[in-house]
Structure 1
Amino acid sequence: MTNSSPRLISDDLAKVLELARASDSIELKLTLPERAYRSAAAALGVDPLDAQLRQVFFFDTPDLRLDAAGVVVRARRVRDRDDTVIKLRPVVPSDLPADLRRSPELVVEVDTMPGGYVCSATLKHRLTSPDVASVVAGRVPLRKIFSKAQRAFFLEHAPDGVALEDLSILGPILVLKLKFQPEGTSQKYVAEMWIYPDGTRVVELSTKCLPGEIITIALEARAFLEGKGIPLSGEQQTKTRTALQFFSKELQDLQS
């Protein structure tokens, strides 16, 4: 045996498994190429009329200082109740403070997609009042739609000199979200279509599992999707990064 022999498992897979053991859940994601939208919908038996309509807003500086620091600030309008998110990525779960890690509002999740992965810590808050529309219209300060824990999390990780009140509105993005369980599998899936103001679309398929199920579910999902003729290769896009870059350019063009 020589030093050039292949490893039993790749370094990336070993790292994903290590992160998974200390996380709450795993989300397997796949961005579909535009040419596959209609054929994938037909193969999976989904009806777009079953989708839930949402509006998503991000908040950052025009030059995306939060994004550069790994901080995501998001608000979402949904029919039943709006919600907000403060997310930090990448994170090492064991580095998070113990009291924060125990919070029921915190979710530590590993997102995987062909060619990449990231572990994130997300604090989510469901709103009763005020709603996101009031903030976007300028009637309510942005900080009012975030919980005390979210604001503290933001202050801990935002770049120096950047406060919630300094952030610009990046959005909205129209989102169609559909939860479904395709025939032929016991696994539940989510399909999301993000529609940007210029008509660009990103369609993502995802499924979640517990950390100990990652290998089994990943193999099952690959076999199932390949069997449906859904392409698993091609350029992968993250919905958040695409949105931030789109609206950042728009804001900077207006200021120039």
Structure 2
Amino acid sequence: MKATAERGAATREQVAREIAGVDAIEIKVTIPDAQIEEALNRYALSIDNDEERFIYFFDTPDLALFEAGVIARARRIIGDQHDSTVKFRPVNPSEVSATWRAHEGFKLEADASETGVTKSASLTEPVAKGLIKQVIAGNKGIGKLFTKGQDEFLAAMGRQPIDYDSLSILGPLAAHRWKFTAPACPWPITAELWKRSDGARLMELSIKAPAVQAAVAIGGFMALLAEVGAERDAAQQTKTRWALEHHAAALRAAAAAQTLVPDAERALANQP
């Protein structure tokens, strides 16, 4: 009994160290495709009670931004305000200016998943209706989706300015989002179901809790998911990486195919 209590205290202290400086923690678990239908049925989630979104990421074919810890994305939310976000991780909360903390679209969070706890900072700004579609159609540049304030935010946090002209469009991801409650969980649950262009799906379940409840929330949420038969993703993929790597691979394949055509034409031209 004493040993159990000591282990519990040690866990709480470890979690407290990992999330020091943040106000809240978001605990995430990914659900592989084989378990999605069970989760949807369990919590009565359907397209009749969801929030529909289309998500676009912006990066290079070799994911230079993502590998540097930066995420640039835009979301079309059907029936609601569209937005764009710049996010980076990891971050040291002590280096974040109070100026940014006061901004309405700023978030400083600890994300807990199967792979551990990572602190991140992000700044989200509203995007005018129709602008995302214009950018995707090539009528306006990607940089039009991001504000001067978002560029200043990256610079203030010591990140390199984004060269928007060097980025490609990765997406869209068709997404469905739900918020619901479960009797065994004291925190509201958010579910997001993403579908890629190849038809593959990935679902993420998450809760947000105050930092002071972090250790209890992590243990309780993971136990809840185990009880309903959900499996943790063996590949430990966040939905962002899962989406980006697929679309980046498609960009690289398309670029390779384009270089093969001129090579083949030159080879034919050189034949006797």
- Please give the range of the TM-score, normalised by the shorter of the 2 chains: 0.7 to 0.9
Give the counterpart letter for 1:134 in structure 2: Q
C-alpha distance 49-130 of structure 1, shift in aligned 2 (>3 A): closer
| 1:233, distance to aligned residue in structure 2 (A) | 6.7
Q: Report the 3-state secondary structure (helix = DSSP H, G, I; strand = E; otherwise coil) of the residue aligned with 1:187.
A: strand
2:84 is the alignment partner of 1:84: yes
Contact conserved, 1:31 with 1:205, CA < 8 A, in 2?
yes
1:6-85 correspondence runs (5 A): 9=10, 14=13, 16-79=15-78, 80-85=80-85
> What is the alpha-carbon distance in structure 2 between the residues aligned to residue 121 and residue 15 of structure 1?
21
> What is the alpha-carbon distance in structure 1 between the residues aligned to residue 233 and residue 255 of structure 2?
38
Instruction: Give the equivalent residue in structure 2 for 1:243.
Output: 243
> What is the alpha-carbon distance in structure 2 between the residues aligned to residue 209 and residue 7 of structure 1?
19
> What is the alpha-carbon distance in structure 1 between the residues aligned to residue 151 and residue 224 of structure 2?
42
| 1:226, distance to aligned residue in structure 2 (A) | 3.1
1:172-191 correspondence runs (5 A): 172-191=172-191
Unaligned 5+ segments in structure 1 are: 1-5
> What is the alpha-carbon distance in structure 2 between the residues aligned to residue 91 and residue 71 of structure 1?
11
- Structure with higher Rg: it is 2
> What is the alpha-carbon distance in structure 2 between the residues aligned to residue 229 and residue 67 of structure 1?
32
Q: After the TM superposition, which segments of 4 or more aligned residues of structure 1 sit over 6 Å from their partners?
A: none
Give the counterpart letter for 1:58 in structure 2: F
Contact conserved, 2:87 with 2:122, CA < 8 A, in 1?
yes
1:158-197 correspondence runs (5 A): 158-159=159-160, 163-197=163-197
Contact conserved, 1:90 with 1:120, CA < 8 A, in 2?
yes
| 1:184, distance to aligned residue in structure 2 (A) | 4.1
Of 238-247 and 215-224, deviating more is 215-224
> What is the alpha-carbon distance in structure 2 between the residues aligned to residue 91 and residue 102 of structure 1?
17
Of 142-151 and 198-207, deviating more is 142-151
2:101 is the alignment partner of 1:101: yes
Identical amino acids, percent of aligned pairs = 31
User: Per-residue displacement from partner, 1:163-199 (whole Å, max 9, x unpaired)?
Assistant: 1222111111111111111244332111111101111
User: How much is the aligned-residue C-alpha RMSD, in angstroms?
Assistant: 2.4
> What is the alpha-carbon distance in structure 1 between the residues aligned to residue 226 and residue 62 of structure 2?
40
| 1:39, distance to aligned residue in structure 2 (A) | 2.0
**Number of positions where the alignment pairs a residue of Structure 1 with one of Structure 2:** 248
Q: TM-score, normalised by structure 1?
A: 0.86
